[in-house]
Amino acid sequence: EDWIPNVRAQRDAIAGVVDFAKDMAPMVIEATPDLAEAPLDTLLLAHKLATTTDDPAAAARLAELAAQYPSLPSLDPDAELLPIMLLRLLAERAPDVIAEIDRAVGPSGQLIRWRQVELPSLVAGRLCFIGWAATGQTADNPRTSIAPQTPGVLVHTAIANSVLTHHARQPAPHWINAVATLTLGLLATWIAVRFAVIVGPFALIMMLAAYFLLNGVWFWDRAVLDVAVGAPFLAATSCWLVVILHRLLVEERGRRRTEQRFRAYVPPDVVDILVNNPSLNSMAPQRRELTILFSDIANFTTLSESLGTERTGLLLATYLRSMTEILQRTRATLDKYLGDGIMAFWGAPLDDPEHAHHAAQAAIEMLDTLDQMNDSGAFKDAGRLNIRIGLATGTVNVGDFGNPPLRSAYTVIGDAANLAARLESANKVLGTNAAINALTRSQLPDSFRVRPVGAIKVKGKNEPEQIYELIAHRAPRGDQTDDWIQGWTDAVAAFQSADVDNCLAILQTIAARFGPEPLIEVYTQTINQWQKSGLPSDQFDATIVLTEK
């Protein structure tokens, strides 16, 4: 109770100030009699308004008070009005404070009686926390999740209460923390592997948010366990970053390899599609239906001998550049150059449902472009060049063959590729420019005109193939091209029905009307050989057999 004398001394000091205020009050009342009866709250408001500057509303309100209390405008707010307010405050309210102190710590005060009689029984056998409970003091107000300023004694009380009521959070067993860390690490790894790089971060954030929610709602609030947060978070983010970095490195290496491998084969826009869509650029061999093109320059060996090395190189550069532009424009994959020859295919590495159409379009453009180059004198001393084209559609193996990545080639292997090569060389015997097989013909729109050539058994094949010559919009017989095609349609139909006499008659009509051509000679020789054999008509083989590649 050492503090009681101090409180009593402060009480006596306040009483002295009150006596002083009472002595000064008559002089104040005499000087400002109108303010003696003014409410204390009115004086407080007048002082606030008088010290407020540049506020029209405050000035208007102060003028209203001045009209009610005439002495108010003549008083200085701080030097005169403020002392009057303090004297009034001491005179009116300090006595109540003194009375409260007397009741608490006087000789028969309630506080002393409470401390002597009631307090011992209240604290007996209990934990007591003493401290400031008002947030206005600044000594002990830590920040908590409840409020930015919480009296420290309340924090201590809450902790003690949780311990005494067995609600204190216990550290989770090590195995729970280990399982949480391992689970989040594995989930983050799965997210990094399965989701796109752009989507992955959002999935990772959702997973971590779900874990934090589970940790707070279930483990913290219900199970009263303090489960680790930092270690699982670090494991998840670390695993995700490691896998993402690995993916980026692997994908970048794959992008570079794809670009290097396909840049020489396909148009740049197709390379960009393959690079940006790794799932489309599988270079492993696979079975696909493609259309394959082979082409070469007729009589090139003789031509190159007459031109010499330098001029032959210039001629090939001019020719191959123009043909390659056509192939790239029609989305072909350029397989290789074979001297003066070209091998290309459609339908890989990107799927092309119209591969036969695009291949036929490329073949016609190649023939048209060559005619234009011949007419413009692009080949100078070489005269007019002629090319032969073979197109074949079929299911082949396509992919990276060889010893990748050391030495390999993205190419096709299969009967259709061999047939395209044979058709290209068969043009020489058949007198055609662009020979195609029946499967290619069946996939072309009606706008592509074709001339039936017949059932041809090329060198190296046991079964004949129905062959057509691709005509499209070209007019090898001028305005009579349609009649010429119809004549050959009738001739081939008669030949395949073993009506050889009618076939010969139609061939003679074609020769008389349109002039001789190698295919007429091929059919005539085949019919003559069969007639010389003496075989009956039911044993007639309506097949043209080519003995040269």
pLDDT of residue 25: 64
pTM: 0.57
Q: For residues 488 and 146, what is the distance between their CA atoms, to the nearest angstrom?
A: 97
pLDDT of residue 524: 95
Task: Collapse the DSSP code of 436 into the 3-class scheme (helix H, G, I; strand E, B; otherwise coil) and give the result.
Answer: strand
* φ, ψ of residue 332 in degrees (nearest 5): -85, 155
Nearest to 363 by CA among 443, 290, 472: 472
Q: For residues 312 and 111, what is the distance between their CA atoms, to the nearest angstrom?
A: 122
Task: Collapse the DSSP code of 466 into the 3-class scheme (helix H, G, I; strand E, B; otherwise coil) and give the result.
Answer: strand
pLDDT of residue 320: 94
pLDDT of residue 256: 67
Query: How many other β-carbons are positioned within 10 Å of the β-carbon of residue 504?
Result: 19
Q: For residues 252 and 201, what is the distance between their CA atoms, to the nearest angstrom?
A: 20
CA torsion, points 64, 69, 75, 78, in degrees to nearest 10?
Answer: -70
pLDDT of residue 347: 92
Q: For residues 64 and 313, what is the distance between their CA atoms, to the nearest angstrom?
A: 109
Going residue by residue through the chain, which has 549 residues, state the pLDDT in tens, using 9 for 90 and above. 556 667 667 767 777 777 776 677 667 666 677 777 778 788 788 888 888 877 888 888 888 888 888 887 888 878 777 777 777 777 777 777 777 777 666 665 566 666 666 777 777 888 888 887 766 666 677 888 777 788 888 888 888 887 787 766 778 888 888 998 999 999 999 998 888 878 888 999 999 999 889 888 888 777 777 888 889 999 999 999 998 888 888 776 766 665 655 665 555 655 565 556 555 555 678 899 999 999 999 999 999 999 999 999 999 999 999 999 999 899 898 889 999 999 999 998 888 999 999 999 999 999 999 999 999 999 887 889 999 999 999 999 998 787 766 567 788 999 999 999 999 999 999 999 999 999 999 999 988 999 999 999 998 888 999 999 999 999 999 999 999 999 999 999 999 999 999 999 999 999 999 999 999 999 999 999 998 888 887 888 999 998 876
pLDDT of residue 285: 85
* φ, ψ of residue 259 in degrees (nearest 5): -65, -40
Residue 275 CA: distances (Å) to CA of 285, 332, 384: 18, 17, 41
Which one-letter DSSP state was computed for residue 306? Answer: H
Q: Annotate 456-473 with b (16+ C-beta within 10 A) or e (fewer).
A: bbbeeeeebbbbbbbbbe
| Domains of the chain, start order | 3-122 (no CATH), 170-252 (no CATH), 283-474 (3.30.70.1230), 476-549 (no CATH)
Contacts for 508-514: CB closer than 8 Å, 24+ residues apart: 510/484, 513/480, 513/483, 513/484, 513/487, 514/477, 514/480, 514/484, 514/487
Q: For residues 334 and 267, what is the distance between their CA atoms, to the nearest angstrom?
A: 9
pLDDT of residue 349: 82
CA torsion, points 396, 399, 404, 409, in degrees to nearest 10?
Answer: 80
Task: Collapse the DSSP code of 10 into the 3-class scheme (helix H, G, I; strand E, B; otherwise coil) and give the result.
Answer: helix
Contacts for 24-32: CB closer than 8 Å, 24+ residues apart: 24/87, 25/87, 25/91, 28/84, 28/87, 31/71, 32/71, 32/75, 32/84
Nearest to 431 by CA among 484, 355, 394: 484
Polymer length in residues for the chain:
549
